[in-house]
Amino acid sequence: MKAVIQRVESASVQSDGELLGEIGKGLMILLGVAQGDEEKDAELLCDKIVKMRIFSDENGKMNLSLKDIDGEMLVVSNFTLNANYKHGNRPDYFSGASPDTANRLYEYFKERAGLQVRNVQSGRFGADMRVSIVNDGPVTIFADSEVLKK
């Protein structure tokens, strides 16, 4: 399971003109589920993200977590994080999980986040979406559950 984590002042996601989710200060998460991912991947990744110290303390040092600042989270599914771009110029996405598995683990990730974060918003799985963010920093981190398993 892969995630692009962006520290934001605010973020929102829309589909077909409908506002699906909106947050203030917190984290915008683009989440990709790969073949072979399981609940343990979602747990490892979610717990790491919530505890990651990437918010500034009173001295301007990145020393606070999302939990520490009582921040919010916006989670948007993104199968393109599993892109294979080794051959040719058109990426393939064959390493992504099947839609049923990906949706189940996406929902599981959001549920787990909801146990730790006061406000978790999300997009619509499989929809064409428009994401708007106001980056804070910018601070952007790529995380992979495979790294956390080692």
Q: Indicate the domain borders of the chain.
A: 2-149
- What is the average per-residue pLDDT within 76-100? 94
Query: 79-97 b/e with 16+ CB inside 10 Å = b?
Result: bebbeeeeeeeeeeeeebb
Q: What is the CATH number of domain 2-149?
A: 3.50.80.10
User: How much is the pTM?
Assistant: 0.95
**22-41 pLDDT, tens digit each:** 999 999 999 999 999 999 99
What pLDDT does residue 26 have? 98
